[in-house]
Amino acid sequence: MPAAVLLVDDERFARTVYSDYLRAAGYEVTVADSADAALTELGRRRYDLLITDVILPGADGLELLDEAKRLDPNIEAIVLTALDRVDPAVRAIKSGASDYLVKPVTPEALQIAVQRCLSARALLAENKALRAHLRLFEVCQRVTASLDHGRAVSLALGALASELEARGAVFVERGERTGSPAGAVGLAEGAAAELAGAARAAMPRLAGEALALATPLGRALLLPVADAESTFGAVCALRESASVEALSAAALLCSHLALALRTLGHLKQVEHLAYLDDLTHLYNTRFLDLVLDREVQASRAFAVLFLDLDRFKAVNDQFGHLVGSKLLVEVGRVLKSSVRDEDVVVRYGGDEYVAVLMGVDSGGALKVAERIRRSIEDHVFLSREGARVRVTASIGLASFPEHARSKAEVLDLADRAMYRGKRSTRNVVYIATNDLPPVPAREG
């Protein structure tokens, strides 16, 4: 597209000659014979270059230049004059002119001056675009490098709202049904929930490109957050329309948010595996520490059941360690089926298990412990393997804050209670008391 040039000169001959020069060079030229006529043109459309004589009817060319720069700071300017003096040239440069030519101006001199101005303008625009791309790239890097879900969403939403010049934006995750969005920027909580609701309703219609939709807060754009394998959700931005460049930047941010969410998903899976027992796939002691720390810090009531299989060594001796390992897995399944979803079952080590019962006192925990004890006693283990093994368990019970005020203490008391039961009749539930002796080295 040719550069748009506004040529302002009160002399008809100069206007004709200079405009012919420029049109022959391939520029789109509009002429004006006064400052007022030029200002009308500048208000009507955007020009790349202003060429004006210093002396014009009404306002002079330098006043016109000042007004042109106010309307469009990026416009380039060349000042023409018949006065070969320093003062007007200095004033012109200070007002933002890129060049100053003394009449008569040859076609070659005019063309060189115009090319120099427009090249400088193109270079500045390119530098500005490069800086914008660099800023966008840096934000994308920060999004993908974030190991925090909320931080990644917040960074991406902030940058996306800026690129689209949106009044606000939300991120809704796939599978969200109601309530506040997974992230929001520029909106109060109620408005964010409203926009999120509209986004969720429109998500089934969302394909690979931005979707325009009406929301209770105004027109908005809905953009998918997805990669080649999965759709993680969508961003809804309060903006009626956007340029191709802005939409391209928003799409890039959405793709990097999708990459960040996939990475965080993988990390969560790895983290989850780090908290699982390799054999039984119950939680391990690392996870038990986290759960007990969380509940104690929140001062929430809970009970700990410490369970040990009775005479498990005899099972290993009779059937072998492979069968013994299968028995431990099956005991874990029995335990899981005997407690609620919110309770936590842990393989503590060897043939020992711990169950953390949320929100119960010792009375409620005793009922659960007795149910577990009977379930293990009545269950025929390894029937598929033809072994048909029967085992029993001794269970110790301690509750927080009834019996103990710390994580270590409640776990230790439950362990001592289990040992007391194991040293008495076995196949029993024993509730902690303050006079229980320490637990010696483990037995089978």
How far, in Å, CA of 304 to CA of 311, rounded? 22
Ranges of beta strands (E only) in 9-153 are 28-32, 49-53, 76-81, 99-102
Among positive and negative, which fits the CA dihedral 170, 173, 176, 179? negative
Tell me which residue of 100, 347, 152 sits closest to 258, measured CA to CA: 152
Q: Which helix (H) or strand (E) holds 306?
A: strand 302-309
d(CA 133, CA 50): 29
DSSP reduced 3-state for 392: coil
pLDDT in tens, the chain (444 residues): 788 999 999 899 988 999 998 999 899 999 999 989 999 999 999 999 999 988 888 778 888 888 888 898 888 889 888 776 666 667 777 777 888 888 888 888 888 888 888 887 777 767 666 677 778 888 888 888 787 889 999 999 999 999 999 999 999 998 877 777 999 999 999 999 999 999 999 999 988 789 999 999 999 999 999 988 888 999 999 998 888 888 999 999 999 999 889 888 887 877 777 888 989 999 999 999 999 999 999 899 999 999 999 999 999 898 888 999 999 999 999 999 999 989 999 999 999 999 999 999 999 999 999 999 999 999 999 888 788 899 999 999 999 999 998 999 999 999 999 999 989 899 999 999 877 777 765 544
Amino acid residing at 429? V
Cβ-proximal residues to 394 (8 Å cutoff; 6+ apart), any chain: 307, 308, 310, 418, 421, 422, 426, 427, 428, 430
Locate all alpha helices (DSSP H) within 213-243, ordered by sequence. Answer: none
Q: What is the pLDDT of residue 148?
A: 84
Instruction: Give alpha helix (H) positions in 238-393.
Output: 244-274, 285-297, 312-319, 321-337, 362-378
Cα separation, 390 vs 380, in Å, equals 5
96: left (phi over 0), alpha (psi -120 to 50) or beta: left
pLDDT at residue number 432? 92
What pLDDT, on the 0 to 100 scale, is given for residue 444?
Answer: 42
pLDDT for position 140 = 84
| Cα–Cα distance, 366 to 400 (Å, whole number) | 14
Structure tokens at 249: 């930047």
Given this model, what pLDDT does residue 91 score? 75
Question: Which pLDDT value is given to residue 218?
Answer: 94
Cβ within 8 Å of residue 199, ≥6 positions away? 170, 172, 181, 215, 220, 222, 234, 236
Quick one: which of 390, 391, 402 has its CA closest to 431? Answer: 402
Spell out the domain ranges in the chain.
4-124, 146-270, 285-431
SS3 427: coil
Q: Which residues have a Cβ under 8 Å from the Cβ of 48 and sit 6 or more positions away?
A: 3, 4, 5, 75, 76, 118, 121
CATH 3.40.50.2300 is right for the domain spanning 4-124: yes
Q: What number does CATH give the domain 285-431?
A: 3.30.70.270
Measured distance CA(75)–CA(120) in Å, rounded: 11
Q: Helix, strand or coil for residue 154?
A: helix
Fold of 146-270: Beta-Lactamase (3.30.450)
Give residue 89's Cα distance to chain centre. 54
